[in-house]
């Protein structure tokens, strides 16, 4: 069926409601808009769905969510695990509660019990909840840090991590097999509740989650001693983090926590934000103003579904607030956990830290320093969660920390996804520990640079929207794959890794080896002296991302090197 035929089907068939048809009637003379909405189905990728909210096959709406859930239900029924049920959480975005209910009622119509949070909750708490409840799967309705016009739908499996191969492909196959919307099941909510197939969850899971978070604290005595001295400014960026972050910091004893009032409450329009992303300095505008007013030590921001954490810290020497990348804040927490676990004799046997191939190379000297095994996985926290599961199954190692460059990390194994709530808690403990020694987080970061090297990372992103965008992204990747550059400026490419074709090529000898990781559309260029560059299309946005890392002799030297590498990359492209 072509896009115009699909448009007419949605406009005329009784399956679709009046509001949907009204929205489509408004664009009936706009052929380009009709094509954009109907030229394909919103792709159910390895992480689930993500797209612009609206009517159409290429949009997030009740019908695409219901269809995706029917595919998941079909998979669960084939696994024979339907009796375990599915946990569902959602964030503060437009249509999030409606999409969560739509998913729940589709599952219920298939005889699968849905456990639905009473109100919005962070993504990591969903990961915790489904494991606590013994569910076979979980769903989070969120578009993470995307602009307000987006929403999304992520699928988790019983281990608490997002689905990985081969399960992800099998679920995608089930979703794609549904060709007729009329075969997708749903039922009345009251009937689902009456049948015991729709259960509301809340406080009991919240309480258990808090108990697990507190187990990660290493020095509660230090927090108690410094709780009245440290000042914390926090913004949930109009998302899900406000209640759990305030609760955990209050229960730990921190007395001066100031929440940005303009961004305290859930706001699906993100009125005070251009982009609800803690990686964006503009997202901190209100928080920095409040920090200056309160003379805060640290400034923290969690994204709308509270799995990513952004950080600023006051540099007492200049009086300015310094921004920390996800690599930097992750390294601060990692150093603290590894150092203090070793010092207190609480480091487990066979300890391991897990990171991704695009995370800072500072992970190598840190883990080496403390005798901790370092395991690298593909980009995406689900691969870190997968390793935790393997540790439990084999007993090979004990997980101590995991992080990725995109402002996500996890201390503990209560969840199997990045958790900004536990990250806030850990970082506040680190800040208290530093304050007791008369230091700031920035002072600690500088000490780490002196100890391990001045590692610096950055990203260069090309956004290509619309029908032609995906083709252009594919062309860029094909060009780099088929004719890999021999150098970036004066930096020779030592080795070229093509994860899609599972090959590592020594550019000097031509020798070929395997990557040792699953297939993925990622290209990695190893350069001399801890320099590197990696190309990867985004799995959730119409972008191709280039990650880069360098090692310098000082903060300024590292900055100059990473700027030069960025320019050299642009020249190659």
DSSP helix/strand/coil, 4: helix
In contact, 225 and 252? CB cutoff 8 Å: no
Q: Which one-letter DSSP state was computed for residue 137?
A: E
**How does 473-490 read in b/e, with b if 16+ C-beta sit within 10 Å?**
beebbeebeeebbeebee
Q: Which single residue is written with the structure tokens 């909405």?
A: 37
CA–CA distance, 556 with 554 (Å, rounded to integer): 5
Q: Which residue has the tokens 């559309």?
A: 521
User: Which two structure tokens, joined as six digits, stand for 532?
Assistant: 């590197």
**What is the arrangement of strands in the sheet containing 86-90, beginning at the earlier edge strand?**
48-52, 150-157, 137-141, 86-90, 114-117, 198-201
Between CA 44 and CA 41 the distance in angstroms is 8
Residue 139 CB contacts under 8 Å (≥ 6 apart), including other chains? 48, 69, 72, 86, 87, 88, 89, 100, 103, 126, 153, 154, 155, 156
- Catalytically active residues are 144
Does residue 527 sit in helix, strand or coil?
coil
Contact assessment for residue 311 and residue 324, using Cβ atoms and an 8 Å cutoff: yes
Phi then psi for residue 111, to 5 deg, are 80, 15
User: In this structure, are strands 298-302 and 309-314 parallel, antiparallel, or unpaired?
Assistant: antiparallel
State phi, psi for 215 to the nearest 5 degrees.
-65, -15
């Amino acid at each position: 069926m072509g896009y115009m035929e699909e448009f007419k089907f949605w406009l005329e068939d009784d399956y679709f409601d009046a509001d949907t048809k009204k929205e489509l009637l408004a664009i009936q003379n706009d052929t380009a808009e009709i094509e954009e909405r109907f030229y394909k189905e919103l792709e159910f990728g390895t992480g689930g769905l993500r797209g612009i909210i609206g009517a159409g096959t290429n949009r997030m709406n009740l019908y695409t969510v219901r269809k995706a859930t029917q595919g998941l239900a079909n998979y669960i029924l084939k696994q024979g695990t339907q009796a375990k049920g599915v946990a569902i959480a959602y964030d503060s975005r437009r249509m999030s509660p409606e999409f969560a209910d739509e998913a729940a009622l589709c599952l219920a119509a298939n005889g699968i019990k849905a456990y639905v949070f009473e109100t919005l909750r962070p993504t990591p708490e969903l990961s915790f909840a489904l494991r606590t409840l013994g569910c076979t799967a979980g769903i989070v309705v969120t578009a993470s840090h995307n602009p307000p016009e987006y929403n999304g739908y992520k699928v988790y499996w019983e281990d608490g991590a997002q689905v990985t191969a081969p399960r992800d492909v099998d679920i995608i196959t089930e979703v794609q097999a549904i060709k007729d919307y009329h075969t997708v099941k749903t039922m009345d909510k009251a009937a689902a509740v009456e049948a015991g197939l729709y259960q509301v969850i809340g406080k009991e899971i919240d309480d258990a989650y808090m108990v697990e978070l507190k187990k990660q604290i290493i020095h509660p005595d230090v927090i108690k001693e410094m709780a009245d001295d440290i000042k914390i400014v926090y913004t949930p960026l109009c998302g899900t983090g406000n209640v759990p972050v305030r609760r955990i910091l209050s229960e730990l004893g921190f007395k001066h926590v100031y929440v940005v009032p303009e961004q305290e409450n859930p706001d699906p329009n993100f009125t005070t934000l251009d982009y609800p992303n803690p990686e964006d300095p503009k997202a901190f505008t209100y928080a920095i103003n409040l920090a200056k007013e309160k003379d805060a030590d640290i400034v923290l921001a969690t994204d709308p579904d509270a799995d990513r954490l952004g950080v600023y810290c006051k540099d007492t020497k200049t009086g300015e607030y310094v921004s920390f990348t996800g690599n930097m804040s992750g390294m601060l927490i990692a150093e603290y956990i590894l150092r203090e676990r070793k010092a207190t004799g609480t480091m487990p046997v066979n300890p391991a830290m897990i990171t991704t191939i695009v995370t800072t190379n500072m992970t190598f000297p840190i883990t080496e320093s403390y005798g901790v095994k370092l395991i690298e996985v593909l980009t995406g926290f689900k691969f870190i969660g997968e390793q935790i599961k393997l540790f439990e199954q084999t007993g090979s190692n004990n997980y101590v920390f995991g992080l990725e460059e995109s402002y996500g990390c996890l201390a503990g194994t209560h969840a199997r996804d990045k958790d900004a709530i536990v990250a806030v808690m850990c970082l506040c403990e680190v800040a208290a520990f530093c304050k007791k020694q008369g230091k700031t987080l920035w002072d600690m970061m500088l000490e780490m640079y002196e100890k391990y090297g001045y590692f610096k990372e950055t990203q260069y992103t090309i956004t290509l929207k619309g029908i032609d965008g995906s083709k252009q992204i594919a062309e860029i990747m094909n060009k780099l794959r088929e004719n890999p550059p021999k150098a970036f400026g004066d930096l020779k490419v030592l080795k070229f890794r093509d994860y899609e074709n599972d090959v590592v090529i020594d550019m000097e000898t031509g020798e070929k080896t395997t990557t040792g990781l699953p297939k993925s559309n990622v290209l990695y260029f190893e350069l001399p002296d801890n320099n590197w560059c990696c190309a990867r299309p985004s799995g959730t946005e119409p972008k191709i991302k280039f990650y880069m890392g360098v090692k310098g002799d000082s903060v300024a030297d590292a900055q100059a090197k990473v700027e030069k590498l960025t320019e050299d990359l642009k020249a190659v492209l």
